[in-house]
């Protein structure tokens, strides 16, 4: 996949996600928890597994904005389980992305990030030991492109263990903010529409 194809896939993934949100609003699933449970019961045990897989894939191949899928997870599975599925999927995806970059290098990143985005964050590598702190802050704070930053971490000398621990400890805060924010936005849209 080239960067251009990745860009089109991102647009397509976002459009599909918007249609899913619109469907959930129109079907009453957002405003009526019973309807949501009925919808999910059709998929049984596979509903969480499919969502978990989606979260893993969207981190490794970032074609859907992570914040949007996090909010959808909370809407579909509730605050607790939605967060758990978001967190586990995001962690697994981040580890896979890191390992892929360790194996394939910067060319892997450039398949999903523009040269401009890559150049913007690659300068962090020059920070030496400060990279670890910048990386932890980037994972902690919502709004930064942490999927790409996780990939860039694969180009550094950060140990795998340290990389995982930074993700384990810092990722929940950004995920909580995304999950809550997107859930509230969708709930508001459901009330307005």
In angstroms, the CA 46 to CA 54 distance is 12
Candidate ranges 18-32, 40-54, 123-137, 141-155; pick with highest mean pLDDT: 141-155
Beta strand spans in 11-114 (E): none
Q: Is the pLDDT of residue 129 over 80?
A: no
Please choose, from the candidates 71, 85, 80, 68, the residue with its C-alpha nearest in 3D space to the C-alpha of residue 17.
68
- What is the rounded average pLDDT of the residues 53-65? 79
The model's pLDDT over 71-103, given as tens digits with 9 standing for 90+, comes to: 778 878 888 898 999 999 999 999 999 999 999
Kindly state the percentage of the chain with pLDDT values over 90: 27
Helices then strands (H, E): number in the chain? 9, 0
Q: Where are the domains of the chain?
A: 3-192
Which pLDDT score is estimated for 50? 82
Q: Is the pLDDT of residue 187 over 90?
A: no
Which pLDDT score is estimated for 184? 79
70 burial (CB, 10 Å; 0-12 / 13-18 / 19+) is buried
Which pLDDT score is estimated for 166? 96
């Amino acid at each position: 996949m080239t960067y251009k194809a990745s860009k089109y896939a991102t647009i397509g993934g976002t459009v599909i996600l918007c249609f899913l949100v619109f469907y959930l609003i129109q079907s009453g699933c957002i405003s009526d928890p019973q309807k949501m449970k009925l919808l999910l019961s059709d998929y049984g045990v596979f509903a969480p597994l499919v969502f978990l897989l989606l979260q893993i894939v969207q981190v490794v191949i970032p074609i859907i904005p992570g914040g949007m899928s996090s909010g959808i997870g909370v809407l579909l599975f509730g605050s607790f389980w939605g967060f758990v599925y978001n967190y586990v999927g995001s962690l697994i995806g981040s580890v896979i992305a890191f390992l892929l970059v360790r194996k394939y290098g910067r060319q892997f990143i450039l398949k999903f990030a523009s040269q401009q985005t890559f150049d913007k964050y690659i300068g962090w590598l020059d920070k030496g030991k400060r990279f670890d702190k910048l990386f932890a802050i980037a994972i902690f704070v919502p709004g930064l492109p942490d999927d790409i930053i996780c990939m860039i971490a694969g180009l550094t000398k950060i140990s795998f263990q340290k990389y995982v621990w930074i993700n384990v400890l810092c990722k929940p805060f950004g995920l909580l903010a995304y999950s809550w924010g997107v859930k509230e936005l969708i709930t508001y849209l459901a009330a307005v529409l």
